[in-house]
Structure 1
Amino acid sequence: MNLNEGDSAPDFTMPATAGRKVSLADYAGKPFVLYFYPKADTTGCTKEACAFQEALPQLGHLGLDVIGVSRDPMKALEKFAEKYSLTFPLASDAEGAVTEAYGTWVEKSMYGRKYMGIERSTFLVGPDGKIAKIWRKVSVTGHAADVLKAAQALG
């Protein structure tokens, strides 16, 4: 699926860390950040999660929640959240329906080997449930700051 800015955010319901469940309906009328990362507790994903954790007070000030999504099992996500004191929900899309719906499950290539995996992507969803901004093939350094800037522009 090819999502564009201005499209309605695809529906989702997923189990998340700390015994939570996250769903699109929970955020009706509220802006939020939905970011997809390949694997819990790997270098880039840890750096990205910690950057979002650091930006939480400013994002929260703007009324934004953050949800991290990977296809990791809940057990791995709980361990990851605990290890780095991540307070925002990390959701498990074990079946891959949400990563498919957001177009983040893509063919990747490493050392000439092709495989399917999550493309690091972030979606800023406005209070109207529409996608305000999309970042694809995210470079971790400075990304949380870019998201914060775009969130401030939402008003």
Structure 2
Amino acid sequence: MVLSSKEQIEDLLADILQNSSEEDEEVLHHLLGGLRDKQQGIHRRYINAALHMVGEFKPEESEVRIPITPVIHNTIKVPHGGIIATIADAAMGGLASRSVPEGFNVVTTTINISYIATTTNKELIARGRFVHKGRQTLVMECDIEDETGRKLAIATASFFVIKRRPS
């Protein structure tokens, strides 16, 4: 007998819970809570839901935050560099995309990150701003800190303006 997708998920979940550590349960709770938030319309994208990402975008600056949990840890239990790059790209790209005319969007063409420090605190915060606003390209910069103000990284990125694809 072939199991349905829901039955496969139920079996997988039961197996995971049977052999779970406290950290496994924390991660599962975090990820399932994010998926529920996506279903409820709190997040539009799965990556934002999985990371519990929230942002505030003003005309010239942005702020994006994610909690630091085992979901984003590397092997030494600090935020993974790729996650720091992701939050920086979200802060800069989100700001850039809001600055282009209706019917257009942006894609990242380059991103450079200099990592400065690590943290074991509670939150990552990325603050993006413009360096250059052209008709076809935008250049941005971003500081990534924890909630204490400890600077973890600095990033720059370039974005290319494209026509928005039909949905």
User: Common fold, TM-score beyond 0.5?
Assistant: no
Asked which structure has the greater CA Rg, the reply is: 2
Bin for the TM-score computed over the shorter chain? under 0.3
With normalisation by structure 1, the TM-score equals: 0.24
With normalisation by structure 2, the TM-score equals: 0.23
Which is bigger in relative contact order (C-alpha 8 A, separation at least 6)?
1
